[in-house]
Chains A and B, each alone.
Chain A
Amino acid sequence: MYPIVLLSVLGIVVLYLGFLKSKSILLPATLLFLVVAMIGNFFEWNDGELLYFKGMFAVNKLTLTFNAIVLFSAFMIVAMTQGFQDNEEAQPAEYFALMLFSLVGAFMMIGFENLIMLFLGVEILSVAMYVLTGSDKRNLRSNEAALKYFLMGAFATGIMLFGIALLYGASGSFSLNGIESFVTLNQRSPSYLLYAGLLLVLIGMLFKVSAAPFHFWTPDVYDGAPSIFTAFMATIVKTAGFAALFRLLSHSFSGIYDFWWPTLSILTVLTLLVGNIIAVYQDSFKRMLAYSSISHAGYLLIALTSMTKQTENAILFYSMAYSFATICAFGVLIPVAREKSLEGRPNESYEAFNGLAKNNPLLAFVLTVSMLSLAGIPLTAGFWGKFFVFSSAVERELVWMIIVAVLMSAVGIYYYFRVIMAAYMKEGDTATIRIAPFYKIVLIAATLLTILFGLAPGLFEAAM
């Protein structure tokens, strides 16, 4: 609860700070505000289950942990912006404020107890992201990405709203508890309003987490948006989206598991196939990361489809591992692409990484660890993420799904290792890239965390 209030207010403060002549205060201020929000987040750590706004918003350990992951990711991404100092046209105050506001949306998605809150959260997050996607105003690619994201996002919102309306029509309530009691009462007699409503809401949310066949926006938007905001989208939107999906399905609709799991399982497999296979053909590292994010949505969906006691833990751990690794990947991509820029545009292809290790061992190492983690190689956090996800699927005996997933992760090796090969094995000359010390610290911290959770995944649970 505190982070929502804090960030809403502090976001406005950031906007006012934008009036100051010196822009250099913005970055430290924003980072400070994020730390404040993080501290606020843990104020309610020991309070058990809390409800706010007449039971429309819930706070418990699970939501707080999700909040913490989101906040931590945001902190790292904001730190990597370096205050947009090298870009004269940038409006850092607006960007930072929008990021903080969008976090508020993410928190609402994580802790919603009422579909109104879910809708508001989704919209707050999305509208901010539309703007940030198009923030590179003179760049046609950024423009195109923003328009695509906006049109498709608005369309998906429409679908989700129609679903919410149908759910309301069926159960007479927007609250998760109200819907749950309706579902348990009518488990035997199917209500088509309820079923159609559930499916449409699911589709709306699956769009946000880019599950196939609603993934089409993802590669284009991730590709066109400025890299720093792509990192934001790939981590925070995805984590919040899965938190919301988990809450919805585990809370209200666990009673009709038999109805929704077949659909979700087919979409899961489709997502895995689409994400992993198309990624093989990419020449752009950034676009590959977009497809990789689709494929990771597939792995997370496995946990969601199996919906066992372990699912909660699996989704938490997986989104954390995925977020850290993705942030590292973008953290390396941004300076490398800038260094190798072609015709004034950052070069985001695989070739840009050729021979990176020679003069930039740190960047190459960070990149390697993040790729290993994304590929799910042992002793990185990503391995345990996959392990937990698969073991929850084993409990439901969804073996065929695991087979697809493991085969697809073998395909994943191909495109993840390509960049490692490029960095270490290929010939190429990259001058030593200068990186700000704080940036370096963030990269090292995320890498160390990836390794640490890879060595001792028990730590994460102990922390909870």
Chain B
Amino acid sequence: MIQPPAIPEIIQLIPLKSYLILSTALFVIGIIGVLTRRNAIVIFMSVELMLNSVNLLLIAFSSYRSDPTGQVFVFFIMAVAAAEVAVGLAIIVMIYRNTRTIDINFLKKLKG
């Protein structure tokens, strides 16, 4: 009977480079989202995508090195991102209450 390979080894079936490319691609997609969208919530979602690409990258590195600290870091990122979501949505709601819009192109009072 063939033992299924241990988890790190499964991950290693896919070369590290692929993880790197995938998460970089996700990260860049996130950046493009931030650049092209005008709705504050969608921009924020794109930022979350960037954070998650980082999570993916960290986990890949962590597994390849059999070093758990990378995964611990991921938990911290998740926790902090959750806190950020709470604050960010509160800010967006506050703006929506005052202006009835969350289009960032309408927020140009401060400039110069």
Contact = CB atoms under 8 A, between A and B. Distances in A.
Interface of A: 115-116, 119-120, 123, 127, 130-131, 134, 137-138, 140-141, 143-148, 150-151, 154-155, 157-159, 161-162, 164-166, 168-169, 172-174, 219-220, 223-224, 281-282, 287
Of A143, A147, A158, chain B has the most CB atoms within 10 Å of the CB of A158
A165 B76 contact: no
A154 B47 contact: yes
23 contacts: A116-B69, A116-B72, A120-B80, A127-B84, A134-B91, A140-B98, A140-B99, A140-B109, A143-B95, A143-B99, A146-B94, A146-B95, A147-B95, A148-B107, A151-B47, A155-B47, A158-B30, A159-B50, A162-B57, A164-B73, A169-B61, A224-B110, A281-B112
B61 A151 contact: no
B69 A158 contact: no
B57 A147 contact: no
B35 to A, nearest CB: 10
A79 to B, nearest CB: 27
A146 B91 contact: yes
A141 B110 contact: yes
A151 B84 CA distance: 10
Contacts of A164: 54, 73
B67 A172 contact: yes
A158 B80 CA distance: 12
A134 B92 CA distance: 10
Contacts of B87: 127, 130-131, 150
Given A127-B83, A138-B98, A147 B107 contact: yes
A224 B110 CA distance: 7
Interface in B82-112: 83-84, 87-88, 90-92, 94-95, 98-99, 104, 107, 109-112
Nearest to B108: A144
Contact of A155 (B34, B70, B109): B34
A281 B112 CA distance: 9
B110 A134 contact: no
B29 interface: no
A460 B94 CA distance: 45
The 9 closest A-B pairs by CB, nearest first: A158-B50, A220-B110, A169-B61, A161-B54, A165-B57, A144-B107, A154-B47, A123-B80, A143-B95
Interface residues of B, number: 43
Interface string B58-80: 10011001010110110011001
Contacts of B30: 158
Question: Main SS of the interface on chain A?
Answer: helix
B60 to A, nearest CB: 8
Contacts of A134: 91, 94
Given A154-B44, A165-B23, A219-B112, 8 more contacts: A119-B76, A146-B95, A147-B104, A155-B50, A158-B47, A162-B27, A165-B58, A220-B110
B51 A158 contact: yes
A310 to B, nearest CB: 35
A146 B77 CA distance: 22
A144 B83 CA distance: 20
A166 B70 CA distance: 11
Contact of A116 (B53, B76, B98): B76
Given A155-B34, A162-B57, A147 B69 contact: no
A168 B58 contact: yes
Interface string B19-53: 01001000100100010000010011001001101
A33 to B, nearest CB: 23
A143 B76 CA distance: 28
A136 to B, nearest CB: 10
B92 A172 contact: no
Contact of B73 (A141, A162, A174): A174
Contact of A158 (B40, B54, B67, B92): B54
A220 B53 CA distance: 30
Contacts of A150: 87-88, 91
Contacts of B53: 162
A227 to B, nearest CB: 14
A403 B65 CA distance: 48
B92 A147 contact: yes
Contacts of A131: 87, 90
Contacts of A159: 50
Given A127-B84, A158-B47, A158-B51, A147 B76 contact: no
B65 to A, nearest CB: 5
Contacts of A157: 51, 84
Contacts of B88: 130, 150, 154
